[in-house]
């Protein structure tokens, strides 16, 4: 207790207040003990800030250098871009095992022989080589892989915004940020063990059910898999250090050490993500190997396939949106089960922040998806058409329904959340117009181009396409709809953010006029580009003008954020009543992760299915009983099963997280004793 005199009373009160929200692991007494134990070792005397910055810099370089090398290194030639080599693969494979067929064999002496021995083609297993465990091997791997991906995405994404929230807490001195970041991290740390278990199960399942394929992947990626394992150990260490040292490294320079730990969690986590992404992209678009799968390049050439960076970007953004949605559901769960107004206020604010993260990171996600699909088309038109123009095309209608559900739920939460702010009545009149645009765009987006029709139905319809609705079935209409939905979602978001503020700057009128005209011209630009270039010019313009539309939407988002930052500098803040929000709005927070989960399963199915009957596209053929694209109905059932399993497991994680806050009361003095 002697040490407590070193802290100002305000600091102690702040610590107590924060600790009381953060659960028993950081209870007041415990938190104080840890803090003072740290002081006894003289941690506070170390130059933490400088050390933190140095460690942080090294950590960033750990990720940046390999990525830079990977991106800049030339010569990563993708294998077999656009044609189907199925007919020649076997023949070439047969030749490849013969030394005379390898380039190395053209040189004389033993060196040539040694080189030729290293060029081992990919195995070509037959149906009998796949173990049969009585159930579909693909289904087993499908479920486990998808669950692992969900949890992996969640535990890698949460520390990204936890670090940001913690840093905001340090900068603003508002202890609520600290408490919220700590609580988010508690959920992530609880989910971390499940992620590891699912990863182990997935590895066992793959090695058991697809031994030849896994043997080949091990040969291709070699010691990189051990690096991955080492990084996983590192991630486990820094995640738990980050979470459990929260109270021990709370103030002053020690806080910077804690922030550095958070940075390390993210650096290692992102490295893990991009490394495992390379396995998926290698299967889709292999590089660093020759036509028969023999390794010819180095590890960077193998990692840096043509789809790697596109998938990295897409998953990075998607993970944050997904993580935000899941912790939003946690906040809603806690809000609905809260008993006191203080708890309701805390979890209402937490839900709002989670929704903010999910929606804001979701807005650029379609563009990252567009980039990924553009790269897929650039690599192989056949693959692109399989995804978006063939059997899987209908899934993009389902995708539209799910994304529409996400946007409608996100908007509904924002509209409903406005009611807690006294200044919201200024903007509530606009909601009906935003809702009209969103619903109309949603209906255009889900309009299919072609339908499976009987001859009689075609006669009734007057052709394969409806004479009016048919024009809404093609990409230009979808592009208009998507961009309008994003622009108007951002409008909801902006009105929500403005609801509790009154600008006091002299140029308020000019600023608002500029914002309104940016919206108006951007909407006109999106519609004009879609209609004129989409319907009245050639395909080249149709594709090129979609970039104009994306740029228009991004202009609205970026200019809106910048303008509001300056327009509301020193603004008068109107009272907000946190906790006074409808329960319905919390159900919208539940809808978000359900739709996200289903959506990830759906698009994972599409991404994986474009390989059709190949384990590794055009190199290693899938000869198992499951070597076909599963029917949409079957896939739909699988996705639903996986989604339900994930939601159940996440609810378990939520429950376990709250369990640590509960304490059993001591036995009553009425004679009851433990064990009786």
Partner 1 sequence: MNLNNPVVVWLGAIAVTVLFFYGLDHIIMSMQGLPLNMNLTPAQ
List residues binding partner 1 (CB under 8 A).
507, 509-510, 513-514, 516-518, 520-522, 525, 529, 532, 536-538, 540-541, 544-545, 547-548, 551-552, 555
Q: Which residues, 6 or more positions from 658, have their beta carbon under 8 angstroms from its beta carbon?
A: 334
Between 290 and 483, whose beta carbon lies closer to partner 1?
Answer: 483
C-beta closer to partner 1: residue 442 or 533: 533
Least CB distance to partner 1 at residue 364 (A):
17
How many Å apart are CA 403 and CA 401, to the nearest integer?
6
Which letter, b or e, does each residue of 8-36 get, where b requires 16 or more Cβ atoms within 10 Å of its Cβ? eeeeeebbeebbebbbebbbeeebbebbb
Min dist CB 556 to partner 1, Å, is 11
| DSSP track, 147-161 | HHHHHHHHHHHHHHH
Give the DSSP letter of residue 453.
-
**Separation between Cα atoms, residue 554 and residue 573, nearest integer Å:** 28
Shortest CB 521 distance to partner 1, Å: 5
Residue number with CB closer to partner 1 (396 or 519): 519
Closest C-alpha to 481, from 430, 538, 433, 527: 527
Do residues 603 and 536 make contact, with C-beta atoms less than 8 angstroms apart?
no
Cβ distance to partner 1 smaller for residue 458 or 547: 547
Residue placing its CB nearer to partner 1 in the complex, 532 or 652: 532
Q: What is the CA radius of gyration of the chain?
A: 28
Beta carbon nearer to partner 1, 71 or 510: 510
Q: Evaluate whether 541 touches 475 at the Cβ level (below 8 Å).
A: no
* φ/ψ of residue 97, rounded to 5: -75, -15
Contact 312, 275 (CB under 8 A): no
Tally of CB atoms within 10 A around 666: 7
DSSP 127: G
In the bound state with partner 1, the residue whose beta carbon lies nearer, of 290 and 546, is 546
* Assigned token pair, 37: 């134990």
- Give least dist CB 553 to partner 1, A: 12
Question: Which DSSP string corresponds to 179-233?
Answer: HHHHHHHHHHHHHHHHHHHHHHHHHHHHHHH-HHHHHHHHHHHTTHHHHHHHHHH
Q: Are 142 and 637 in contact (CB under 8 A)?
A: no
Q: How far apart are the first and last CA of the chain?
A: 39
In the complex with partner 1, the residue whose CB is nearer, 532 or 655, is 532
Rounded to a whole number of angstroms, the minimum distance from the CB of residue 375 to partner 1 is 16
Q: Which stretches within 419-474 are classed as H helix?
A: 431-445, 455-461
Q: Smallest distance from the beta carbon of 506 to partner 1, in angstroms?
A: 8
CB neighbours of residue 369 within 10 Å: 18
In whole angstroms, the minimum distance from the beta carbon of 310 to partner 1 comes to 18
Q: Identify which of residues 316 and 533 has a Cβ nearer to partner 1 in the complex.
A: 533
**Shortest reach from residue 378's CB to partner 1, in Å:** 14
437 vs 505, beta carbon nearer partner 1: 505
Instruction: Return the number of the residue (145 or 550) whose C-beta is nearest partner 1.
Output: 550
- Asked if 149 contacts 277 with a C-beta cutoff of 8 angstroms, the reply is no
Close Cβ partners of 521 (under 8 Å, ≥ 6 residues apart) = none
In the complex with partner 1, which residue's Cβ is closer, 57 or 513? Answer: 513
Choice between 19 and 546, CB closer to partner 1: 546
Residue 275's closest CA among 300, 295, 239, 306?
300
Q: Taking the mean position of all CA atoms in its chain, how far away is CA 541? A: 31
Q: How far is the CB of 260 from partner 1 (least distance, A)?
A: 40
Nearest distance in Å: CB 518, partner 1: 5
Min dist. Cβ of residue 76 to partner 1 (A): 25
Output the smallest distance, CB 567 to partner 1, in A: 13
CA dihedral 250→256→261→265, nearest 10 degrees, is 110
For residue 566, the minimal CB distance to partner 1 (Å) is 15
Contact 30, 258 (CB under 8 A): no
Residue 42: count other Cβ atoms within 10 Å of its Cβ.
8
């Amino acid at each position: 207790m002697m040490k407590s005199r070193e802290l100002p009373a305000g600091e102690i009160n702040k610590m107590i207040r924060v600790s009381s929200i953060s659960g028993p692991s950081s209870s007041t007494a415990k938190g104080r003990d840890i803090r003072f134990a740290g002081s006894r070792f003289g941690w506070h005397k170390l130059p933490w800030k400088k050390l933190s910055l140095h460690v942080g810099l090294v950590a960033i370089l750990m990720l940046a250098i390999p990525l830079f090398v990977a991106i800049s290194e030339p010569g990563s030639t993708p294998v077999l871009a656009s044609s189907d080599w199925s007919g020649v693969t076997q023949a070439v494979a047969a030749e490849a095992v013969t030394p005379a067929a390898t380039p190395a064999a053209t040189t004389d002496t033993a060196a040539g022989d040694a080189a030729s021995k290293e060029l081992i083609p990919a195995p070509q297993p037959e149906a009998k080589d796949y173990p049969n465990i009585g159930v579909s091997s693909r289904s087993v791997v499908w479920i486990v892989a998808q669950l692992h991906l969900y949890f992996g995405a969640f535990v890698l994404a949460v520390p990204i915004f936890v670090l940001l929230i913690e840093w905001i807490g340090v900068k603003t001195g508002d202890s609520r940020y600290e408490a919220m970041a700590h609580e988010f991290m508690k959920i992530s740390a609880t989910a971390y063990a499940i992620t590891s278990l699912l990863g182990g199960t997935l590895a066992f399942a793959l090695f058991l059910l697809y031994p030849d394929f896994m043997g080949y992947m091990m040969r291709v990626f070699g010691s990189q898999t051990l690096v991955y394992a080492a990084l996983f150990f590192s991630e486990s260490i820094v995640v738990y250090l980050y979470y459990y040292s929260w109270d021990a490294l709370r103030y002053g320079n020690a806080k910077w050490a804690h922030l550095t730990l958070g940075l390390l969690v993210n650096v290692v986590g992102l490295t893990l993500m991009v490394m495992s992404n390379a396995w998926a992209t290698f299967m889709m678009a292999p590089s660093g190997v020759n036509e028969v799968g023999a390794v010819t390049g180095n590890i960077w050439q193998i990692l840096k396939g043509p789809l790697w960076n596109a998938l990295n970007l897409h998953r990075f953004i998607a993970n944050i949106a997904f993580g935000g949605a899941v912790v939003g559901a946690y906040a809603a769960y806690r809000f609905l089960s809260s008993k006191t107004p203080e708890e309701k206020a805390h979890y209402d604010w937490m839900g709002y922040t989670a929704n903010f993260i999910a929606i804001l990171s979701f807005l650029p996600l379609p563009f990252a998806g567009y980039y990924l699909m553009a790269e897929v088309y650039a690599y192989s038109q056949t693959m692109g058409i399989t995804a978006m123009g063939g059997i899987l095309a209908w899934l993009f209608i389902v995708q539209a329904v799910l994304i529409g559900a996400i946007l409608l739920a996100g908007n509904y939460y924002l509209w409903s959340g406005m009611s807690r702010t006294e200044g919201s009545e200024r903007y509530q009149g606009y909601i009906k117009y935003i809702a009209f645009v969103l619903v109309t765009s949603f209906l255009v987006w889900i309009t299919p181009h072609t339908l499976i029709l009987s001859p009689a139905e075609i006669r009734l319809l007057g052709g394969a396409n409806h004479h009016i609705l048919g024009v809404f079935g093609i990409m230009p209409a979808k592009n208009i709809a998507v961009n309008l939905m994003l622009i108007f979602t951002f409008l909801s978001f902006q009105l929500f953010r403005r609801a509790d503020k009154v600008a006091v700057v002299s140029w308020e009128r000019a600023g608002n006029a500029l914002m309104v005209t940016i919206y108006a011209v951007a909407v006109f630009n999106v519609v004009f580009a879609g209609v004129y270039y989409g319907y009245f010019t050639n395909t080249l313009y149709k594709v090129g003008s979609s970039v104009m539309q994306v740029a228009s939407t991004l202009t609205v988002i970026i200019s809106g954020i910048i303008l509001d930052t300056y327009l509301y500098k020193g603004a008068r803040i109107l009272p907000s009543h946190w906790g006074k929000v409808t329960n319905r709005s919390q159900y919208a927070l539940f809808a978000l992760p359900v739709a996200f989960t289903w959506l990830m399963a759906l698009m994972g199915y599409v991404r994986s299915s474009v390989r059709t009957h190949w384990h590794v596209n055009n190199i290693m053929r899938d000869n198992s009983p499951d070597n076909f694209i599963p029917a949409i109905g079957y896939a739909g059932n699988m996705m639903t099963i996986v989604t339900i399993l994930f939601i159940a497991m996440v609810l378990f994680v939520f429950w376990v997280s709250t369990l640590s806050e509960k304490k059993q009361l001591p036995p009553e003095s009425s004679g009851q004793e433990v064990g009786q």
